Amino acid sequence: MTETKKGWLYRHRYQLEDIRLMVRLLNESLTAKIGIILLSCFVFMAIFGPTLSPYKPLVQDLTNRFVPPSSEHPFGTDQLGRDIFSRVLYGSRISLVMGIVVTSILFVIGTTLGLTAGYFGGRVDELLMRLTDMFLAFPSLILAMAVAAALGPGLFNTMVTIAFVAWPRYARLARACCLQVKEETYIEAAKAMGMSHGRILFTQILPMILSPLIVQATINLGGVILTAAGLGFLGLGAQPPEPEWGLMISEGRRFISNQWWVSGFPGIMILLVVLGFNLIGDSLRDVMDVRMRR
Amino acid sequence: MNIGAYIVRRLALMVLVLFGVLVITFTVSHVIPADPVGAILGPQAPTHLIDKINAEWGFDKPLYEQFLMYLRNLLRGNLGKSIQTNNAVLDDIMMRWPATIELSTTALLFALMLGIPAGIISAIKRNSVLDHFVRVFSISGLSMPVFWLGLMLLFLLYFQMGVLPGVGRLDTSIEIGRRITGLYTVDALLQGNREAFINTVRHLIMPAFVLGFSATGSIARITRASTLEVMQQEYVNTAKAKGLSERLVVFRHILRNALITPVTIIGLTYGGLLEGSILTETIFAWPGLGRYATNAFMMLDFQAVMGVTLFIAVIYSVANLLVDILYAYLDPRVRI
């Protein structure tokens, strides 16, 4: 009972020290800083965009079609006279929410399946591995297109599609990490103490393998946004008049000969937000590498 | 294990995986209640017509029967008929695949020729300006929406500056002559058609660059990482201590081991390029499999969808198999 007396902070002092070290290392890395700044901007846009935006994203103004970027319309207007800056602001909410929701689903499903398979081994494991083999045997965009086409377009279906296509990678990663940990002596000790399988999995193994999974999730957030934009671009994702970035690029495509800004700005947004996630994911991975070498 | 047994085992696994791919695509395209017949005929179509077409295509049979029917036909080399073109799917694929292969192979060459040297130089001159540039370039390559890059280049290089042709594989005014391989560059060369060759190469540059852009980034990254790793090995120090020149150390001792990792991901990269060709072909009106697939998805033309998916899965698996064999050859440690 002495343990509980000393409190949560004391019992978790090693984990906390690790986190503090990671924060310090991240603070030293330039790429991490750039990534964090980029992402903070997008989170800010997603939260406050609707209040900040000078125009309504769906309001058409046919007298002001294809206005080039100017002080009144910083990103210009599109074929229906809608203000692209406002649409891009609203779009950041769509893309970020999609990224976060899909990645969370992937994280939960992939980790659960991977952990179970890795921990119990045997037939379950074999079955899961062969299943993921099949998913990974062909380009995921094609499968995503097939699912999206069959489900029909729309934002919700896009999220379902991407989750359906992307879970095997997580499952593989979680399984591989679990295999590394499960033979450790402390797991054996936990078993000897009579701890249940479920408790071992979630209180003993999961915390140990969380870091690679988080790195993967960070990088994957960018990937989800890219895929969603790609599906939107192909007409299999978001539908007009939704201000989704991929769809906006696709709408501007017909006018690319002169009005570059219609497609141009939504694309820059995609590039920057995905870059932000990649930079952070990369630096996180470096930081964790250092920790292993320590 | 000797290499023959290894190949046989891998081939057997490949067949299994491809069967799985079929099951997945078939399930996805048949279980989810999309209505291809309705999509073609429109909402006002009379029911007896819909029933008739359903019966004709076997859509009214139970699912496993449809699947068995598909498998039987597949083994006879019959991939079914496309709704959009009204041709046999196999013929459609045969007509279009050289365009896609030409594009993605050129893109792969681009990526290798740019990415590998960039990665090596970046590792050797670590933390120099060049190194930073390569790293920024490669990470933005991974973050780039390819279809956007294509549109922007199209705007800049075709519409504004007019230095490169815009869409398609060849100017309409130019004849390629007989179709021998279907690869325009090769056909033009074989027939000594200089004008067509130059024209088709000019058409290739922009789409291949766009398609290969993110692959270049990832190859540069991986090459850099693996070169750095090799440079820390003891034997490199030994070579340096022996007094070998830097050039000799790099070319004879570092490169051989540093290049193993990039080689192993060529297969995966190629698969990624085939995938990327879907978006790239849409933008550059490239008459290949990607555009065919996109149209097939739009029209819920599932025979064509399954045909293309299977075809790409086969190329993907074969590419990976070839690379793994190459890997086993390059790195004897794998052959256990």
Percent of chain A with pLDDT over 90: 44
pLDDT at A294 over 60: no
Select the more confidently predicted residue: A221 or B303: A221
Q: How far is B226 from chain A (nearest CA, A)?
A: 15
CA B263 to each of CA B115, B179, B208: distance values in angstroms, whole numbers, following the listed order = 12, 33, 20
pLDDT at residue B35 in the model: 65
Mean pLDDT over all residues of chain A?
A: 87
Select the more confidently predicted residue: A20 or B285: B285
CATH number, position A32: 1.10.3720.10
| Cα–Cα distance, A278 to B140 (Å, whole number) | 9
Hey, what CATH topology would domain B92-330 get?
Answer: MetI-like fold (1.10.3720)
Domain range summary for chain B, segments of one domain joined by +: 3-75, 92-330
Residues of chain B with pLDDT under 50: 336
Determine, for residues B28 and A147 on separate chains, whether the beta-carbon distance falls below 8 Å: yes
pLDDT at residue B39 in the model: 63
Number of separate domains in chain A: 1
DSSP secondary structure, B96-139, as one string: HHHHHHHHHHHHHHHHHHHHHHHHHHHHHTTTSHHHHHHHHHHH
Three-class DSSP category at A73: coil
Closest by alpha carbon to B327, among B260, B270, B267? Answer: B260
What average pLDDT does range A94-102 have in this prediction? 95
- On the CB side of B160, how many CA atoms lie within 13 Å of its CA? 11
Convert the pLDDT of each residue in A118-154 to its tens digit: 999 888 888 888 888 888 877 788 888 888 888 888 8
pLDDT at A247 over 90: yes
pTM of the model: 0.87
pLDDT at A218 over 60: yes
Determine, for residues B32 and A151 on separate chains, whether the beta-carbon distance falls below 8 Å: yes
Provide the domain limits for residue A180.
3-293
A267 interfacial to chain B (CB closer than 8 Å): yes
pLDDT at residue A171 in the model: 92
- For chains A and B, CB pairs below 8 A equal 139
Helices and strands (H and E) in chain B: how many: 16, 0
pLDDT at A202 over 60: yes
Set of chain A residues whose Cβ sits within 8 Å of the Cβ of B140: 271, 275
Set of chain B residues whose Cβ sits within 8 Å of the Cβ of A246: 145, 147
